[in-house]
Amino acid sequence: MLKIASKTSGIIILTTLALVVIFLSIEAVPAIFASQDALRDQIPWFANSGDHNIWQYSIPLLFSTILAALLALLIAVPLSIAVALFLTYYVPKRISSVFGSLIDLLAAIPSVVYGLWAVAVLVPRLSGVFNFLSRNFGWIPLFHGPVAEPPRVLLTVSIVFAVMVIPIITALACEIYSQTPHLNTEAALALGATKWESIRLSVLPFGKSGIISASMLGLGRALGETMAVLMILSPGHSFSLSVLMSGQHQTIAGNIAANFPEAGSLGVSALITTGLVLFLLTFIINFLARKVVDLPLKTKRRKK
């Protein structure tokens, strides 16, 4: 009985996945095989981009999407780990459970609300920080100026993404860290480890694969996030790394949402093609994450 049930569920999941791919592919066909002239005639935003075919059009979008999501993870993962460790190992149980449920609440806030908050509160306050970054670290390509004013730029989007995914990653990390076997932590403590050392020696290695999975969930949300991009970003179409300049980037999800209402049939097909690209990207990322998680134990000598 259980065998049948689990088998059918497995098959259902796989068919759904396959159907999504098939749907996206079929819908994408007109745009993929359309001539350059047809695309330019029928889709104004495609004509503006000056690209030759739909793949060429997709790649800068893909680039911006990945860039925004990676920057968001770069901000969110360390913070989430720190918060999770703090809640699991440094705070009395009562307080940490209160904080834990607050964090779960944060995860439930809709992204429009985060977007509104970002536009009203975050954007005006960030320009000082960004100017500082650009002035002092402008030699890093990421922080090239001039800083847009107001800073409706990709880094702002990344920060909002980070705020959105921190609750998700933190909640999962808390769960993972609280399951570290006592024996491992005590083994470290019995050797004369301080609390932090015992965490480094037992909790962090134990949680590594779980944290990677949690980050991937966060990454998934960041890749697909639409509202915040639409509300914050002043869009562009390039491979620029300068995340402080405006008019440089647009994410796939943001682009679809922005252009969909005005799109004709070929336009819709073109947008769906970019959606297919995003789908493939998440697929590949998940696959790679699986690989990383399953990576055999490193037995090489730790470098010191």
Partner 1 sequence: MAEKESKKELKKKLKKKEDKKAAKREKKSLMKLQRMIVTNLDVYYGDFLAVQDVNMEIRPKAVTAIIGPSGCGKSTFLRTLNRMHEITPSASVQGSVQLEGVDLYSDDVDPVEVRRHIGYVFQRPNPFPHLSIQENILAGIRLNKQKLSKEEENELVISCLKNVNLYKEVKDKLNQPATSLSGGQQQRLCIARAIAVKPNVLLMDEPCSALDPISTRSIEDLIVSLKSQFTIVIVTHNMQQAQRISDWCAFFNVTATGEPGRLVELDKTDTIFNSPNKKATSDYINGRFG
Minimal distance in Å, beta carbon 178 to partner 1?
14
| Complex with partner 1: residue 7 or 195, whichever CB lies closer | 195
202 near partner 1 (CB under 8 A): yes
The torsion angle over the Cα atoms of residues 28, 55, 70 and 202, rounded to 10 degrees, is 70
Q: Which of 191, 284, 288, 292 binds partner 1 (CB under 8 A)?
A: 191
Task: Choose one: 4-12, 193-201, 269-277, 286-294; the region binding partner 1 (CB under 8 A).
Answer: 193-201
- Minimum Å gap between C-beta 210 and partner 1 is 13
CB of 215 to partner 1, least distance (A): 19
The mark string for 278-297 relative to partner 1 (x by CB under 8 A, - otherwise) is -------------------x
Cβ nearer to partner 1, comparing 180 with 269: 180
What does the binding site for partner 1 look like in residue numbers (CB under 8 A)? 93, 181, 183-184, 186-194, 197, 201-202, 205-206, 208, 297, 299-302, 304
